[in-house]
């Protein structure tokens, strides 16, 4: 231990050590900012950023009175009201007034906020590790490798992934406060001979920290539901690493577990998990495969992509993968058991890593498994486990060779993260790179299809017919590439129909709209808009009576859809003119 004195559970840190901690914190923050600085020049991605932020009418312009619905019902298949509220606050600083009075949002402000959250999380990890290992430089390297790890590029550089950063910030704050709570309670037990007033003061401070930890945990849950595993992460650290009796943490953490129940119920109710069919017997293998995948990417973070396409269906179609991918996770778990008597930190690090990932490993079905069970952003908080391992190794008999190796690894990770961040500058660069690494990525084809389709429309509106046609062909090729490998993907078929309609190929558009609407789930979710577009294509194809039927169906599904009502009136008028 580097401190000389302990009183009532409070470490009396010498002024020189306090100054060193501040300097190390500033150095950590500065290096983290340098690594992710390319993100400041990035645009909003045509990959959820428009729906969540850039074209969200609640933020154009941002008005507080428009944000209340995020707190009373889910939005975009997730209940994370605090995240949407924070986005609204950031939008207030990011709004840009156009010459015509329109409001747009500056993506640099959102990226700056993401970087700031990642820096804050790195500092919180440093503070946590300082309480666990006490050795400043060991804690600093653990926090640095957490903050700049290449797996963090996706959540830092992607505006929509801010929910993961925000939830992790509150989770780390909750963990830090709980550790302070436990330290004060332990000191209270050790100072039975102290004056009653002093004991009472210590007791009150301990529960004050528990109260702050509980508030932080509640905010983490409201930022993103995946924070539900934090009580178990805290229990592992306090009981296994700090060697506190389990009975001391059961009741405080039981309250946290109860807080998770409504969040879990809401999440299960709003996520369309029925779209992902995974046999119960396959789920443990999917989870082991995902855990081994994350371990591999944590150790060797190369070829990082926004879409890995590692769905349960893909694994079932590649049984050879399932025979071997579980070995990595199983081997590390076995090693932790063997080393338990001598070192507890390997088991703690692995447990923190695995528990943080548990909600998204595939033991329970979740919506994103339609595209992939694994994603870089899911590993954000889980990297606290490796940070604990690094700090523990460096703190045990510190030596220059250990710190040289840690510095070399940090330099390699910093370079990889800096380079990876550049890919996230815009939609085309990111997903063209994805296709270079994974040519069959459906998400890359889908994102590029939508992106080039929007560009085609912009060029068409500007009168650049030749460029518009080129962009149209690019968009059509990407959407058809999705259907080549996923013929039942109605989202891509709907995009193709919209493209064909925009460029006057109305008969082809009618066929694709009808095939998309034959899917019941799609018809339920997108029916009003799809039937309206089908009606437009039918009307342009010279079929006003069938067009009117399509508009009526759109209004039946959504009686408030004024565009369909207007189109119906026009179709009826044309039908009357053609049949006097």
**Burial status of residue 527 (CB atoms within 10 A of its CB: 0-12, 13-18, 19 or more):** middle
Residue 61: cis peptide before it, omega within 30 degrees of 0? yes
Strand partners for 104? 96
Which element (helix H / strand E) includes 7?
Answer: strand 5-7
Across 93-132, b (16+ Cβ under 10 Å) vs e yields ebbeeeeeeeeebebebbbbbbbebbbbbbbbbbbbbbbb
The whole-angstrom distance between residue 189's C-alpha and the CA centroid of its chain comes to 41
Nearest partner of 142 among 157, 158, 125, 163, judged by Cα: 125
Which element (helix H / strand E) includes 12?
Answer: strand 10-12
CA-CA distance, 397 to 463, in Å (whole number)?
Answer: 70
Locate the domains of the chain by residue range: 5-39+111-423, 428-578
452 Cβ contact list (under 8 Å, min separation 6): 471, 472, 474, 475, 478
200: Cα within 13 Å, side-chain hemisphere = 3
Q: Tell the residue number behind the tokens 């009808």, with chain if given.
A: 514
Tokens at 465, concatenated: 């017919």
302 Cβ contact list (under 8 Å, min separation 6): 416
Residue 73 DSSP SS3: coil
pTM for the structure as a whole: 0.88
Q: What is the pLDDT of residue 9?
A: 40
Q: Do residues 184 and 9 touch, judged by C-beta distance below 8 A?
A: yes
Q: What is the pLDDT of residue 271?
A: 63
DSSP state of 37: G
pLDDT tens by residue, the chain, 580 residues: 333 333 334 455 677 888 899 999 999 999 999 999 999 999 999 889 998 999 999 999 999 999 999 998 888 778 899 999 999 999 999 999 888 888 899 999 999 999 999 999 999 999 999 999 989 999 999 999 999 999 999 999 999 999 999 999 999 999 999 999 998 888 777 665 554 555 556 778 889 999 999 999 999 999 999 999 999 999 999 999 999 999 989 999 999 999 999 888 887 776 654 567 788 888 999 999 999 999 999 999 999 999 998 999 888 888 877 778 888 888 999 999 999 999 999 999 999 999 999 999 999 888 888 889 999 999 999 999 999 999 999 999 889 999 999 999 999 999 999 999 999 999 999 999 999 999 988 889 989 998 998 898 888 888 888 898 999 999 999 999 988 888 888 888 898 999 899 888 999 999 999 999 988 878 887 888 999 999 999 988 888 889 899 999 999 988 888 888 888 888 777 665 444 3
Residue 507, CA distances (Å) to 111, 512, 539, 540, 541 in order: 43, 9, 10, 9, 6
CA-CA distance, 439 to 435, in Å (whole number)?
Answer: 4
Nearest partner of 310 among 421, 443, 451, judged by Cα: 443
Strand partners for 95? 105
Domain 428-578 falls in which CATH fold? 1.25.40
Nearest partner of 529 among 553, 549, 508, judged by Cα: 553
């Amino acid at each position: 231990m580097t401190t000389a004195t302990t009183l009532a559970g409070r470490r009396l840190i010498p002024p020189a050590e306090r100054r060193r901690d501040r300097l190390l914190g500033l150095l950590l923050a500065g290096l983290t900012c340098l690594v992710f600085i390319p993100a400041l020049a990035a645009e909003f991605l045509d990959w959820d950023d428009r729906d969540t932020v850039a074209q969200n009418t609640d933020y154009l312009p941002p008005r507080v009175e428009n944000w209340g619905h995020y707190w009373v019902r889910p939005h975009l298949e997730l209940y994370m009201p605090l995240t949407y509220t924070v986005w609204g606050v950031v939008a207030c600083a990011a709004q840009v007034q156009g010459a015509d009075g329109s409001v747009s949002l500056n993506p640099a402000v959102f990226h700056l906020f993401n970087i700031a959250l990642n820096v804050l999380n790195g500092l919180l990890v440093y503070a946590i590790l300082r309480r666990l290992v006490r050795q400043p430089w060991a804690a600093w390297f653990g926090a640095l490798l957490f903050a700049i790890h290449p797996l963090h590029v996706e959540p830092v550089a992607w505006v929509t992934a801010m929910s993961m950063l925000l939830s992790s910030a509150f989770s780390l704050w909750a963990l830090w406060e709980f550790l302070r709570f436990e330290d004060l309670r332990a000191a209270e037990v050790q100072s039975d001979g102290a004056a009653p007033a002093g004991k009472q003061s210590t007791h009150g401070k301990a529960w004050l920290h528990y109260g702050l930890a509980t508030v932080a945990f509640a905010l983490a849950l409201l930022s993103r539901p995946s924070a539900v595993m934090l009580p178990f992460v805290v229990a592992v650290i306090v009981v296994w690493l700090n060697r506190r009796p389990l009975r001391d943490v059961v009741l405080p953490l039981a309250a946290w577990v109860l807080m998770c129940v409504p969040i879990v119920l809401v999440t299960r109710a709003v996520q369309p998990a029925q779209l992902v069919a995974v046999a119960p017997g396959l789920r443990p293998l999917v989870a082991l495969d995902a855990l081994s995948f994350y371990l591999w990417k944590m150790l060797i973070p190369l070829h990082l992509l926004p879409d890995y396409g590692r769905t349960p269906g893909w694994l079932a179609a590649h049984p050879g993968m399932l025979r071997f991918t579980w070995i990595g996770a199983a081997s590390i778990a076995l090693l932790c058991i063997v080393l338990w008597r001598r070192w507890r930190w390997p088991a703690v690090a692995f447990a923190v890593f695995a528990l943080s990932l548990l909600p998204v490993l595939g033991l329970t079905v979740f919506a994103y498994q339609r595209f992939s069970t694994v994603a870089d952003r899911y590993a954000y908080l889980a990297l606290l486990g490796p940070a604990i391992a690094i700090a523990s190794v460096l703190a045990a008999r510190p030596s220059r060779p250990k710190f040289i190796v840690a510095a070399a690894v940090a330099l390699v990770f910093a370079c990889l993260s800096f380079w990876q961040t550049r890919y996230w500058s815009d939609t085309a660069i990111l997903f063209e790179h994805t296709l270079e690494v994974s040519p069959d990525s459906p998400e890359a084809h889908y994102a590029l299809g939508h992106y080039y389709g929007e560009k085609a429309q912009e060029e068409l509106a500007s009168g650049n017919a030749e460029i518009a046609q080129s962009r149209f062909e690019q968009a059509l090729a990407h959407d058809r590439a999705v259907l080549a490998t996923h013929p039942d993907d109605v989202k891509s078929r709907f995009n193709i129909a919209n493209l064909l309609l925009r460029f006057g190929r109305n008969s082809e558009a009618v066929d694709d709209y009808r095939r998309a609407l034959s899917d019941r789930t799609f018809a339920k979710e997108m029916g009003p808009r799809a039937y309206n577009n089908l009606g437009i294509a039918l009307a342009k194809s010279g079929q006003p009576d069938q067009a009117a039927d399509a508009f009526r169906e759109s209004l039946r599904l959504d009686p408030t859809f004024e565009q369909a009502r207007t189109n119906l009136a026009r179709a009826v008028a044309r039908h009357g003119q053609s049949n006097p």
